[in-house]
Structure 1
Amino acid sequence: MSRLPLLLATLLVIGSAPAIAQSQPAQSGPGNNAVNSSDQKNSNAPVAGRNSFTEGQAKSRIEEAGYSNVSGLQKDNDGVWRGKADKGGAKTEVSIDFQGNVNPSK
């Protein structure tokens, strides 16, 4: 009979663990930004998705990433803005996706 109090105490401790775990505060928001700042990048290739950037916003973001003379921007069927720009003295094709990732074409 001396095992019964020990068993009851063990069950009490185990039974209260889920209640403790549920009392954690919720996150204030997801850890995945919809749009990255110009100094963050989460992909080395454009990510397809519905792009809400205007042409002017896309051009500004590309320029903030160190490109100049941005021209010929057009949004493709994947929602990616694509155009041409200069960087480091060379003309290159460049893209910006809905998350704000600016990538040179490879």
Structure 2
Amino acid sequence: MLVNAGRNPALVPGEKFVRLIKERFDDEFTKVFGIEPDALTANEAEYLVGFKSIDAIRNRLAAAEQEIDRRLRSKGITRASEATASGAHADKGVTPSEPGVRIPTQRDR
């Protein structure tokens, strides 16, 4: 999920947005995200059309990753490297930074 709390209730993106993403970012979009522009939700497509270059998207992605890490660390949680993550936390990419810190699972929700 690339967009949280989007305003558009539609799931399928408009043709205009998909076309703009394909024209603006070409094949690099698929290389960066590993998905085709057609596979985006309407909110994701509308958000990404606002970027002028693939580098701008990369920069925003890096900033978001840093913000996520900062917020998790403030709660005593660190993100695990995908190469070393294992067990119940592997799918979340997080591990407790202290042995006593418990990360909620799907069962807890």
Common fold by TM > 0.5: no
TM-score (norm. length: structure 2): 0.25
Query: Which of the pair is proportionally richer in strand?
Result: 1
Which protein has the bigger helix share?
Answer: 2
Task: Kindly indicate whether structure 1 or structure 2 has the higher relative contact order, using CA contacts under 8 Å at least 6 residues apart.
Answer: 1
Larger radius of gyration: 1
Query: Which TM-score applies when normalising by structure 1?
Result: 0.25
